[in-house]
Amino acid sequence: MKLTLTIVTLIGIFAVVGAIVMGNMSFDGVVVEHPYERGLQWDKENALREASGLDVRVLSRELPKGEAWIEFLVRHKDGSAYEGPVELELTRPETTAMDRSYTTSALGGGRFAARVELPLEGAWDLMVSLSSVGNTVVFTRRVNVLSR
């Protein structure tokens, strides 16, 4: 019985040490620069989103790799359509090297669309900038790009 407990304990210790070593090998050391200031900025942006009374919904969260149409719906909390200016930016979560801005077309009824180029599979963040109450409010929505 003591031998079994010793073996199980050693396996557990080696698993923890292995996880620590692998974590240190893959972590680049940068979480975020100026975390306190970034947190304050996040709180401010979140308050602006809430005060705007707007909501953004992407109509298709899975898109094909290459050229694609992204359609999204912008509504006020009361359900009425947003008809103001819309700016669209696509980014990859892990790098800024793939950031791209696109012009959108209003389709009516709060629907907007943009023809975009998605060269890589995986997660992309859709940054939709709207004007509300004299402020620019940015909504981030994640989409997944799949191979055709």
| CATH number where 115 lies | 2.60.40.1930
Does 46 fall in a domain? no
The range of the structural domain enclosing residue 83 comes to 54-146
pLDDT in tens, 3-13: 999 999 999 99
Would you call 31 helix, strand, or coil by DSSP? coil
* Mean per-residue pLDDT over the chain, rounded: 89
Q: What's the structural domain count of the chain?
A: 1
**Distance, CA of 73 to CA of 119 (rounded, Å):** 24
Does 48 fall in a domain? no
Does 24 fall in a domain? no
Give the confidence band of 116 by pLDDT, cuts at 50, 70, 90: very high
Does 9 fall in a domain? no
Does 7 fall in a domain? no
Question: Cβ atoms within 10 A of the Cβ of 70, count?
Answer: 23
Does 94 fall in a domain? yes
pTM of the predicted model as reported, rounded to 2 decimal places: 0.71
Tell me the C-alpha to C-alpha distance, in Å, between residue 6 and each of 18, 19, 64: 18, 20, 52
Does 47 fall in a domain? no
Does 113 fall in a domain? yes
pLDDT in tens, 58-115: 998 899 999 999 999 999 999 999 988 899 999 988 778 888 999 999 999 999 999 9
